[in-house]
Amino acid sequence: MSTASPAETPTAHITPREKAEILAQALPYIRKYHGKTLVIKYGGNAMTDPALQQDFAEDIVLLKLVGMNPIVVHGGGPQIDEALSRLGKKGTFIQGMRVTDEETMEVVEWVLGGEVQQDIVGLINAAGGKAVGLTGRDGGMIRARKLKMLDKNDPSIEHDVGQVGEITAIDPSVVQALQDDQFIPVISPIGFGEKNESYNINADLVASKLATVLKAEKLMLLTNTPGVLDKNGTLLTDLTAREIDGLFEDGTISGGMLPKIAGALDAAKSGVNAVHIIDGRVPHATLLEILTEQAFGTMIRSH
């Protein structure tokens, strides 16, 4: 049997007594969130760095084993770009939203609902969990319609972004059935319309809406930033809905953070107890956020 050197095993320098201390400190949080639903948006570096992928899978399995109900919603922007470039197609964006024509939509479906989703399912299963992959079509979960995107400077202009959808309804019954049966749902952000057409939906918005519908205890969005930063680049660890409205107005929150925060804000206002935007580049960020007092990122409260 090979033994890992201390460099390979981050816990090698921790004594058994220290390990017991760490577990004892986690106990109040395990008790607090036992039986509760946690919706976790998985994306960014956490999703492309092999060591962080492993950490994430272990975190999710551990949360399930101690009696919580994690649900994973994943993105896949870089993987979609890579697949499109292999086909000689370049992704185009309007106001941060991917323009999704019919051919791009096919690529989105097989990358998100196939390759990316099955990678995550495989990682969680290899770490000892029982993950099941779903798209918004499964169980009629995510109904959508074509997104009407108005120009941010001139609202009389409407941009056509193709098969990009906005959510009209979520039926969470398939997710609830799996949860109750000890499975971990892994959801691709693809919805379907009245004529059975497919829609590419922003994963942050899917996670936020799902958290609202399921009355989740927590919504966690993993990002490639430390959280929400002020104009000087300082991390804002605790924000209310009203403070966020102010950050939108003065332009502090812009670009790719807009849909993320807009969805998070909706969830906070709609009854999700705590919404966290956390740095997915931190090893075991998910576990640290849930089982310790230390804040890793920005928490948004409804008031």
Sequence-ordered list of residues with C-beta below 8 angstroms from that of 259, at least 6 positions apart, any chain: 96, 202, 204, 205
Assigned domain for 152 exists:
yes
Average pLDDT over residues 49-64: 94
**Whole domain around residue 290: which residue ranges?**
34-301
Integer Cα distance of 194 and 228 in angstroms: 37
Q: Are strands 218-223 and 274-279 parallel, antiparallel or unpaired?
A: parallel
User: Is pLDDT at 54 greater than 80 in this prediction?
Assistant: yes
Assigned domain for 29 exists:
no
Average pLDDT over residues 80-88: 92
Pick the residue with more confidence: 47 or 13?
A: 47
The amino acid occupying position 273 is: N
Sequence-ordered list of residues with C-beta below 8 angstroms from that of 21, at least 6 positions apart, any chain: none
**Number of domains, the chain:** 1
Assigned domain for 13 exists:
no
Average pLDDT over residues 51-63: 95
Assigned domain for 49 exists:
yes
User: Is pLDDT at 8 greater than 50 in this prediction?
Assistant: no
Integer Cα distance of 105 and 111 in angstroms: 10
Average pLDDT over residues 174-183: 91
Integer Cα distance of 197 and 4 in angstroms: 51
User: Is pLDDT at 241 greater than 90 in this prediction?
Assistant: no
* pLDDT category of residue 248 using cuts at 50, 70 and 90: confident
List the single range of 114-128, 152-166, 237-251 with lowest mean pLDDT: 237-251
Please report, in range form, the residues annotated as the binding site: 76-77, 98, 200
Per DSSP, helices labelled H in the chain are 16-33, 45-48, 50-65, 77-86, 102-110, 117-126, 173-180, 203-213, 241-249, 257-269, 285-291
Average pLDDT over residues 164-193: 94
User: Is pLDDT at 185 greater than 60 in this prediction?
Assistant: yes
pLDDT at position 12, please?
Answer: 57
List the single range of 107-116, 149-158, 290-299 with lowest mean pLDDT: 290-299
* pLDDT category of residue 258 using cuts at 50, 70 and 90: confident
User: Is pLDDT at 7 greater than 80 in this prediction?
Assistant: no
Q: How far is CA 158 from CA 140, 149, 154, in A?
A: 29, 6, 9
Please report, in range form, the residues annotated as the binding site for substrate: 76-77, 98, 200
Assigned domain for 18 exists:
no
Sequence-ordered list of residues with C-beta below 8 angstroms from that of 24, at least 6 positions apart, any chain: none
pLDDT at position 170, please?
Answer: 97
Q: What is the pLDDT of residues 205-229, one digit of tens each?
A: 999 999 999 999 999 999 888 888 8
Average pLDDT over residues 229-252: 79
Q: Pick the closest to residue 112 from 93, 89, 88, 84 (CA basis).
A: 84
Mean pLDDT of the chain: 87
Assigned domain for 192 exists:
yes
Q: How far is CA 100 from CA 97, 155, 274, in A?
A: 9, 21, 32
CATH number at residue 199: 3.40.1160.10
Assigned domain for 244 exists:
yes
Assigned domain for 24 exists:
no
pLDDT at position 178, please?
Answer: 94
